[in-house]
Amino acid sequence: MTAASDLAPSYDLVVVGGGPAGLAAAALAARAGLSTVLFDENPGVGGQIYRGITTTPVTDRAILGEEYWAGAELAADARASGALIVNGAVVWSLDPQKLVGVSIAGKTRLIEARRVIIATGSQERPFPIPGWTLPGVMTAGAAQTALKAQGLVVSGRTVLAGSGPLLWLLAAQTLRAGGRIEAILDTTPWRNWLQALFHLPDFALSPYFSKGMSLLREVKAKVAVHRVDGIEALGKDRLQEVAFTSGGRERRLPADLLLLHQGVVPNVNLANAAGVAHSWNERQLCFVPVLDEAFGSSVPGIAVAGDGAGIAGGTAAAERGRLAAIAAVRALRPEATVPDPQAIRQKLQREEMGRAFLDLLNRPAESFRQPVGETLACRCEEVTAKQVRDMARIGCEGPNQMKAFLRCGMGPCQGRLCGLTVTELIAAERKRTPDEVGYYRLRPPVKPITLAELASLPISEAERKAVER
């Protein structure tokens, strides 16, 4: 394992994130002659999409599907490229001068980079329903991580709730692995179909169409599906029941495990902290970085690739990573040979063909994005939706001011679990757009690190003398 002390003081390219975009970018850049290091905080590479690809105990390829195993080639190519790949590395800081703060095994270093590619991928959208903090309620992504990385299959009376491709993929993978699902509560609003229909021809021609239809048939043949417009997790010390409403009628299901999911959104915290400009994407209902055609950001020398640039899926993420890497190579080693970017753009365009249909079809209902009453909006600081709404009504203009009132976004997750919820609640109460309200202002450390880790930063002789004087 690479230790913090083994790192060079500077690299041509630092890649943050070991998912498909990061792996593809690091491999291309290293082969073109750039000194390249990839930092990833997980024990192995792969990101969420290819989680545990080099170590998974799942040997039956049919369980996770052939798309998952495509990640093995990406991982192998990156390993063979000459790029330094460092796992267990938490990147907690990145400034506009491209100084990267990274912590490895309790030791911290600051690394200078000539170029940086942020490939931190996506995270699950907050799904704040009544009871979502009860033991026994977790995200679908967490269950899928356990399956990929440890080969663990959910047990007990399991209910899946929400919308989006991952929900159906997890259901299929669970069934193939021998698990059981009591029901799927589909929260997709009917009106979404009307908005998405215009993009149906492109979707029908995309790689997503046949895969999606196959997943739906596979799951619906074995699991009861209910279309719902309200969900509540019930229990005293842990989950006992899931209540849901459909067409004005309430029903309850006994449950030991409730898996929630309503799509994924870009993980913007590191890019935000680095000063990268972001804007609200109305189709995907989230903030995305403002980027050029090579995925360069508003901060010179910092690019954002993969799903962190806007949700498009694993194959598209890899192509985005390659385009960002080509831009870095051309800036630092213009004489180096790189693949034809036009051919990569054509592949990317094909992968993104059906995305508009999927985005519009799976847009979560307002009621599942903007909670009311005593439902927790910020889990870390235990702030309710009512408290956020009340503060907005009396004049709180945005999430950063809300920190002073209620400490929203100041817990260990640094706003990852409440950022979009708080923005949308304020926007709704003040009759503003999310763009006008804005997002949390992120500062380092963007990931929790200890004071001991900060204290382990090497001190130069000049700094030491300055302190001694």
pLDDT exceeds 90 at position 60? yes
Q: Of 36, 7, 25, whose CA–CA distance to 102 is shortest?
A: 7
Q: Show the DSSP H helices in 297-353 as ranges.
A: 314-332, 341-351
* Average pLDDT for 316-340: 97
Structure tokens at 160: 């899946």
Handedness of CA 75, 77, 79, 83 (dihedral sign): negative
Task: Determine the Cα angle at 316 with ends 313 and 321, to 5°.
Answer: 115
The whole-model pTM stands at 0.95
Q: Of 94, 111, 34, 27, whose CA–CA distance to 331 is shortest?
A: 34
What digits encode the pLDDT tens for the residues 13-33? Answer: 999 999 999 999 999 999 999
Q: Of 372, 462, 370, 354, whose CA–CA distance to 424 is shortest?
A: 370
What digits encode the pLDDT tens for the residues 129-181? Answer: 999 999 999 999 999 999 999 999 999 999 999 999 999 999 999 999 999 99
- Residue matched to tokens 């490939």: 119
pLDDT exceeds 50 at position 469? no
Please check whether residue 173 is in contact with residue 65, taking contact to mean a CB–CB distance below 8 angstroms.
yes
Q: Which amino acid is at 219?
A: V
- Model confidence band, residue 464 (pLDDT cutoffs 50, 70, 90): low
- Residue matched to tokens 């709404």: 389
Q: Which amino acid is at 79?
A: R
Beta strands 264-266; 183-186: pairing state = unpaired
Q: What count of other Cβ atoms lies within 10 Å of the Cβ of residue 281? A: 17
Q: Of 258, 287, 228, whose CA–CA distance to 436 is shortest?
A: 287
User: What domains are there in the chain, each with its CATH number?
Assistant: 4-123+265-338 (3.50.50.60), 126-262 (3.50.50.60), 370-437 (1.10.10)
pLDDT exceeds 70 at position 113? yes
Q: Of 358, 354, 312, whose CA–CA distance to 188 is shortest?
A: 358
What digits encode the pLDDT tens for the residues 438-450? Answer: 999 988 899 989 9
CA 29 to chain centre: 24
Residue 374: what pLDDT? 97
Half-sphere exposure of 210 (CA within 13 A, CB side): 3
Residue 51: what pLDDT? 95
Segment holding 387, helix H or strand E: helix 385-393
Residue 466: what pLDDT? 47
Tell me the three state secondary structure of residue 94. Answer: strand
| Strand boundaries in 99-180, DSSP class E | 99-104, 107-118, 122-124, 137-139, 158-163
Residue 467: what pLDDT? 44
What digits encode the pLDDT tens for the residues 338-391? Answer: 999 999 999 999 999 889 999 999 999 999 999 999 999 999 999 999 999 999
Q: Of 255, 299, 244, 92, whose CA–CA distance to 158 is shortest?
A: 255
- Model confidence band, residue 461 (pLDDT cutoffs 50, 70, 90): low
Structure tokens at 439: 């997002």
Structure tokens at 101: 């703060």
pLDDT exceeds 80 at position 3? no
Ramachandran angles phi, psi of 422, nearest 5°:
-65, -45
Residue 465: what pLDDT? 56
Q: Of 7, 216, 222, 215, whose CA–CA distance to 108 is shortest?
A: 7
Tell me the three state secondary structure of residue 378. Answer: strand
Structure tokens at 456: 């382990």
113 vs 86: CA distance, rounded Å: 16
- Model confidence band, residue 456 (pLDDT cutoffs 50, 70, 90): confident
What digits encode the pLDDT tens for the residues 303-324? Answer: 999 999 999 999 999 999 999 9
Please check whether residue 377 is in contact with residue 371, taking contact to mean a CB–CB distance below 8 angstroms.
yes
412 vs 449: CA distance, rounded Å: 10
Q: Which residues contact 407 (CB under 8 A, 6 or more apart)?
A: 378, 381, 383
- Model confidence band, residue 432 (pLDDT cutoffs 50, 70, 90): very high
59 vs 392: CA distance, rounded Å: 52
Beta strands 183-186; 302-304: pairing state = unpaired
What digits encode the pLDDT tens for the residues 199-254? Answer: 999 999 988 899 899 999 999 999 999 999 999 999 999 999 999 999 889 999 99
Handedness of CA 256, 262, 263, 266 (dihedral sign): negative
